[in-house]
Amino acid sequence: CLQQIAEMSKATVHMKDPEHLEQILESIKDSGPNTLQVISDFDMTLTRFAYNGKRCPTSHNVLDNSKLISKTCQAEMKNLLNTYYPIEIDSTRSIEEKLPLMVEWWTKVHNLLIEQKIRKDQLTAVVKESNVILREGYQLFFHHLHELDIPLLIFSAGVGDVLEEVIRQAGVLHPNVKVFSNYMDFDESGVLQDFKGELIHVYNKREGALLNTQHFQEIQSRHNVMLLGDSLGDLTMADGVQDLQNILKIGYLNDKVEERKQSYLDSYDIVLERDESMDVNSLLREIR
């Protein structure tokens, strides 16, 4: 059936093993929507990487670029981004090597954000004024999952309060959407004083997935997973799912395409190269 899906034959869509993929898709289709859960990353997976040639912000960047942050702090954040983002996407370094550096980046940024005394009631306006955009076709994606009662778990190393607000303002924060992310902890006057729980960065999603057993119990009967990510760290997001039967992994390759293409093809079933769409809708359409 893959061959009949027009969206899957676009030049930006790559598959290493279409036959294997076809089998997974058929198997999920046969089991039906009530056996499926969708586990997705947020930044640069559900949101656009670029629009009209310009980079779009991550949930952290929504804050970094906002009026809530002083000019000096903005400059510091930019320096950190210029230092650590190239490490995050460097295909010559191992994940082990990147881990402590990612913790360092996130910790520094969260401490800077705390120093800025951000107020909870300012977040709505900041998201409204930002350039963050969900991918083309997001309405269909969220509505389809809601309609069929398929849980959508968003597992993000971004800022939970910001990304929830992005989804709310887009009008698609349906009850089947569950978010695991770095949530802000506000004091009684509504000023940011800390971040809640364990830090989530791009390369420790597996630990988070395993910790979330309480949540995973709610969906124990859903042994089929559609996973969406843009980082190789996102591949472990389903590691907490018990008795996993089928997993269909869809990866957005947004940046450093030539260097990273082979590693993405080796680990994701479908690779979307510089593709700003939510054409996974065409696969979901098959699962009814």
In the complex, the residues that contact ligand C5P under the rule CB under 6 A are 41-44, 58, 60-61, 81, 85, 88, 105-106, 109, 156-158, 202, 231
Q: CB 234 → ligand C5P: shortest distance, Å?
A: 7
The answer to whether 141 and 278 have CB atoms below 8 angstroms apart is yes
Catalytic residue among 30, 41, 194, 243: 41
Residue 250: name its binding partner from ligand C5P, Mg ion, none (Cβ under 5 to 8 Å by kind).
none
Task: Please tell me whether residue 44 binds Mg ion under the rule CB under 5 A.
Answer: yes
DSSP annotation of 143: H
Annotation marks residue 161 as catalytic: no
Q: Which helix (H) or strand (E) holds 262?
A: helix 257-267
Residue 236: name its binding partner from Mg ion, ligand C5P, none (Cβ under 5 to 8 Å by kind).
none
Residue 157: name its binding partner from ligand C5P, Mg ion, none (Cβ under 5 to 8 Å by kind).
ligand C5P
What is the rounded CA–CA span in Å between residue 189 and residue 193? 10
Q: CB 88 → ligand C5P: shortest distance, Å?
A: 5
**Closer CB to ligand C5P, 132 or 225, in the complex:** 132
Q: CB 190 → Mg ion: shortest distance, Å?
A: 28
Contacts (Cβ under 8 Å, ≥6 apart) of 88:
98, 102, 105, 202, 231
**Torsion angle of the four alpha carbons 175, 206, 49, 74, in this order, in degrees rounded to the nearest 10:** 100
**Closer CB to ligand C5P, 81 or 211, in the complex:** 81
Residue 240: name its binding partner from Mg ion, ligand C5P, none (Cβ under 5 to 8 Å by kind).
none
Q: CB 199 → ligand C5P: shortest distance, Å?
A: 11
Of 28, 33, 43, 60, which one interacts with Mg ion (CB under 5 A)?
A: 43
> Alpha helices, DSSP H only, in 38-195?
59-64, 71-88, 95-115, 123-129, 138-147, 160-169
Task: Please tell me whether residue 276 binds Mg ion under the rule CB under 5 A.
Answer: no
Q: Given the structure tokens 């800077």, which residue do they identify?
A: 112
Catalytic residue among 43, 234, 269, 279: 43
Q: CA-CA distances (angstroms) from residue 58 to 41, 62, 218? A: 12, 6, 29
Of 21, 41, 222, 272, which one interacts with Mg ion (CB under 5 A)?
A: 41
Interface with Mg ion in residues 228-267 (CB under 5 A): 230
Q: Given the structure tokens 């990510």, which residue do they identify?
A: 229
Of the ranges 40-48, 60-68, 118-126, 245-253, which one interacts with Mg ion (CB under 5 A)?
Answer: 40-48
Annotation marks residue 43 as catalytic: yes
DSSP states of 193-240: EEE-SS---TT-HHHHHHHTHHHHHHTTT--EEEEEESSGGGGGTTTT
The answer to whether 231 and 95 have CB atoms below 8 angstroms apart is no
The answer to whether 10 and 279 have CB atoms below 8 angstroms apart is yes
Q: CB 44 → Mg ion: shortest distance, Å?
A: 4
Residues that bind Mg ion (CB under 5 A): 41, 43-45, 230
Residues taking part in catalysis: 41, 43
